[in-house]
Amino acid sequence: MKYLAKDELSYKTINEVAKKATKNSAKVISQIGATGRLISQSSGTPQKTNLCVTCELDKSEKIAKPKVLKTTSNVNNLLPRLLKVDNLDTVSEIQKLIVNIKKQRDNVAIIGTGGSFISAHFIAKLLSQELAKPIIALKPRDIFIYPIKNISSAILLTYSGKTPDILTVNDYLKKNNIKSYIVTNQEKDNPEENIISYNSSRTEKGFLAVAGTVIPVYLFAKSCLKEINLKDFVENSITKWKSELSFENLNLKIADKPLLIDIFSDYETGTATLDLESKFVESGFGRVTIHDKKDFSHGRFNIISSFKPDLIIFLDSKGSGKYNEKLYKYLTKEDVSIIHLKTNESGILADLDLLIASQFLIQSISEIIKRDLTKPDYPKRAMSLYRYKDQFIL
């Protein structure tokens, strides 16, 4: 201002002002820190005031940087991780595998456990459509229960590539001369195994699988659904649900306490249902009951009256019919909070769209209750079960 008052604006003056501004900015940053958090400077003589001499902010009032939850981080990283695998050769490898299965008319089993079983559920449904034959998802123990003579090949899903039960099944299949293919995020480090790797980024951390569940689903969907641009579909789905299920738009009033949750589902929404149930239970957020919508009419309606849930999640797809509408209206009169997740897609794309929605719903709930659901508290003694690697148990 003193230069303006004296009408002394010149090139030399502007340079002098710029230098002083830069110097003062450096002082502010040295006090605040690059992350926006005020830093106390230690000096030889005690300071008489907590005020920063440059910006006059009170250094005792720290500017708190919002804590980024691991759940939020994993969900936000979903699209970048999908875009990375989109550029790999993995899709062409899976396409060749499916062509071979078709040619040889193999009876194929899709096997997974934990979050990978959710992927297996979707892939089994997808391949049933692609191969025009019924295919079901199996858990590792099922291979030891069902007659394996009816299985010609198996697709094993394991994000880590180290799941003990999956590796046990792989050895068992090889001993019985059944072709097995391991789909994993790990690199191809064993030439003797049929490994289809989508390794492209650091391993996802946390109890709840996000990319670990969605990436195999995406890769197989892209391999089969050639008539649509799946990359655009997923990008649009993520954009939509990120907005619709945001912390602000969801406006859900729930407390951070264990809840009773009822999920209403059908064939087109089955994968998303399994994903939500798994995440709610594994995070300790709530105890879940899954209702097939039609089965609900066979007396299951009594449970809502006897044990009223804290939350109902109603999964819906395009053209779901009059019974679906009637059931939803019935539930809205139960005086229970309802989250109505409806996709404008039908068929296999409805399940994929809602699976993506599931990730953003978990993120928003985590932010609402201010608890990182992917890093739950758990009893220490439970780790002996989690890390169990001894003889396979039926």
How many H helices and E strands in the chain?
Answer: 15, 9
Residue 60 domain boundaries: 15-65
**What pairing do the DSSP bridges indicate for beta strands 153-158 and 259-265?**
unpaired
Per-residue pLDDT, 20: 62
E strand or H helix that includes residue 230: helix 230-244
E strand or H helix that includes residue 236: helix 230-244
Domain-ending residue, one of 65, 100, 124: 65
In which order are the strands placed within the sheet that holds 108-111?
A: 137-138, 108-111, 153-158, 179-184, 195-197
Query: Which of 170, 365, 386 has the alpha carbon at shortest distance from 285?
Result: 365
90 within a domain of the structure (yes/no): no
Q: Mean pLDDT, to the nearest integer, of 191-198? A: 86
Per the prediction, the chain carries an average pLDDT of 82
pLDDT higher than threshold 90 for residue 374: no
Per-residue pLDDT, 240: 97
pLDDT higher than threshold 50 for residue 26: no
Residues 6+ apart with CB under 8 A from 53: 27
* Cα gap 200→355, rounded to integer Å: 22
70-87: pLDDT as tens digits: 888 889 889 999 988 987
pLDDT higher than threshold 80 for residue 169: yes
Domain-ending residue, one of 40, 65, 90: 65
- Any idea what the CATH number is for the domain that residue 265 is in? 3.40.50.10490
128 within a domain of the structure (yes/no): no
pTM, two decimal places = 0.79
276 within a domain of the structure (yes/no): yes
206-240: pLDDT as tens digits: 778 888 999 999 999 999 999 999 999 999 999 99
pLDDT higher than threshold 50 for residue 362: yes
298 within a domain of the structure (yes/no): yes
pLDDT band at 252 (very low <50, low <70, confident <90, very high): confident
Residues 6+ apart with CB under 8 A from 165: 113, 140, 141, 392
* Cα gap 377→174, rounded to integer Å: 39
115-154: pLDDT as tens digits: 999 999 999 999 999 999 989 899 999 998 888 788 899 9
350 within a domain of the structure (yes/no): yes
* Cα gap 225→249, rounded to integer Å: 32
pLDDT band at 378 (very low <50, low <70, confident <90, very high): confident
Domain count, the chain: 2
167 within a domain of the structure (yes/no): no
pLDDT higher than threshold 50 for residue 60: no
99 within a domain of the structure (yes/no): no
pLDDT higher than threshold 90 for residue 314: yes
22 within a domain of the structure (yes/no): yes
* Cα gap 253→53, rounded to integer Å: 44
